[in-house]
Amino acid sequence: MPLSEELDMATATFESTAPGTGAVVGVFPVHDTDAVTETVARARPAAEHWAALGFGERKLRLAAYRGYLARRLHELADLVHRENGKPHADAVLEITLAIDHLAWAGAHAPRTLGLRRVRAGLLAANHAAYLEYRPLGVVGVIGPWNYPVFTPMGSIAYALAAGNAVVFKPSELTPAVGVWLAAAWRAAVPDCADVLQVVTGAGETGAALCRAGVDKLAFTGSAPTGRRVMAACAETLTPVLLELGGKDAMIVDDDADVPAAADAAVWGALSNAGQTCIGIERVYATDAVYDRFVAEVTAKARDLSAGAHEGAHYGPMTMPGQVDVVRRHVEGALAAGGRAVVGGTVDGALIAPTVLVDVPADADAVREETFGPTIVVSRVADAEEGLRQANASVHGLAGAVFSGSRTRALDLARRMRSGMTSVNSVLTFASVPALPFGGVGESGFGRIHGEDGLREFTRAKAITRRRFPLPVDLMSFTRPEAAADAVARVIGLVHGRHR
């Protein structure tokens, strides 16, 4: 698929390069404010047409899109591998998840959002009441580079299924994937080509999208940039959805399956080179299992290899600047008395698996998002202390609990201060389209995925219809003087007995 067709829209260009090798993947225009405004203006009539099609027609076109993606899954996975650096197999998994979400969003939009009757209640008993969730119009999506298909598609699929047009600004590190996704839409759904468009560039292009008059802005990235996005959107009262990463914790309880917990922790922390917003960054293992858990994690992490070669378990860091963050966290943890039982030196974009223990709770490696292939394991007296430490974070995106007791695990999961928690696995909630995805605190607000994710890109519309007149119309100047007293007596009978 050509990656250069948008080049005539702007003069300045930038390159995207393969992490590790630096090979050029593609050249893209830097869309300035005018180009972004033009793109959003083109999306307006497309949004109206798309909304007017209705759920059934949209579902057919969303199915054509996912069919197109499924047939070219390996082509897209290869591009993700080249531009983001992750292994081809991980790219395949990511795209598979995105396709599944597209299918769910298309199938569930009618029942979740469509016009339905609700009970009118006592005071409006002679009326019918209707509720529906109408599309917002044009939604701006600013996406990250770590899951360049799955993460933006969490907003794009649900916004489209809800009847909106989308203007997508991929990260400047993964523009080729964004351009591919929009080109695939045009090819699969040619009669609604402008319903999904892409603009490319760096932060200024994203900032221009925030100010372009879109009806909602869905952002995934860091908390500092999220604040800037929200401030820019405040100028036009554009609502925002913020997905800002986390510092997710796993609790390993006394009766947990320790080998399973260790396997999940290693995958949750190190896959995708740890560049996963819902990745496991901290583990709180109880005294009873700590030594066994650390031994298992150490053995498993030592077996992993990082690189761009065939068979590598994860690739190089996608964003060069992130290497410094990981180094600062690892070195800070070691200087504060921590020990690296695996890895411990950060030198270049290929970071070896790193397992840290005995790290003080106030170290950056425990408090800030590391976003690298590292994991900090801490000993706690019991799961309650693990939960307290897990919750002692400004972030609150997701987490995991490993326990042999279903009741205890569910109780811990429910009290974990996060948007999502998996029991006896990691990250599973992201693969369940019916479950909402999003965080609390510094991890942001708003939800993608599930019914909440569909509603996130809509406005509720309430309608009443009078079915028959009442002998006394309370909302009329013709009502008799005694009417209000009669209503007060009824309300007294119905509600007054409650204390």
Q: Applying CB under 6 A, which residues contact ligand NDP? A: 142-146, 151, 169, 171-173, 202-203, 206-207, 210, 220-222, 225, 228-229, 243-245, 277, 319, 322, 325, 369, 371
- What b-and-e string marks burial along 146-175, b requiring 16 or more CB atoms within 10 Å of the CB? bbbbbbbbbbbbbbbbbbbbbbbbbbbbbb
The closest alpha carbon to 418, from 448, 375, 387, belongs to 387
> Whole-angstrom Cα distance, residue 23 to residue 18?
5
Q: Which 3 state secondary structure label does DSSP give 59? A: helix
> Whole-angstrom Cα distance, residue 386 to residue 220?
28
Residue 217 or 266 having the CB closest to ligand NDP: 217
DSSP 310-341: TT-SB---SSTTHHHHHHHHHHHHHHTT-EEE
Q: List CB contacts of 112: < 8 A, sequence separation 6 or more.
A: 133, 451, 454, 455
Residue 27 or 187 having the CB closest to ligand NDP: 27
Least gap, CB of 134 to ligand NDP (angstroms): 27
Least gap, CB of 84 to ligand NDP (angstroms): 11
Residue 144 or 453 having the CB closest to ligand NDP: 144
Q: Which of 6, 83, 94, 243 is catalytic?
A: 243
Helix-, strand-, coil-residue percentages of the chain, each rounded to 5: 45, 20, 35
Least gap, CB of 29 to ligand NDP (angstroms): 13
Least gap, CB of 260 to ligand NDP (angstroms): 26
Residue 197 or 403 having the CB closest to ligand NDP: 197
> Whole-angstrom Cα distance, residue 183 to residue 191?
13
Active site residue 277: yes
DSSP 398-462: -EEEE-S-HHHHHHHHHHSSSS--EESSSSGGGG-TTS-B--SGGGEE--BSHHHHHHTTEEEEE
Least gap, CB of 130 to ligand NDP (angstroms): 37
Residue nearest ligand NDP by beta-carbon distance: 206
> Whole-angstrom Cα distance, residue 29 to residue 31?
6
Q: Which residue has the tokens 């939960």?
A: 387
Active site residue 210: no
> Whole-angstrom Cα distance, residue 84 to residue 91?
9
Residue 192 or 207 having the CB closest to ligand NDP: 207
The number of beta carbons lying within 10 Å of the beta carbon of residue 115 is 12
Least gap, CB of 407 to ligand NDP (angstroms): 32
Residue 188 or 210 having the CB closest to ligand NDP: 210
Sort strands 116-118 and 127-135 into parallel, antiparallel or unpaired. antiparallel
Residue 87 or 143 having the CB closest to ligand NDP: 143
Q: Which of 277, 369, 442, 451 is catalytic?
A: 277
Least gap, CB of 205 to ligand NDP (angstroms): 7
What positions carry a catalytic annotation?
Answer: 243, 277
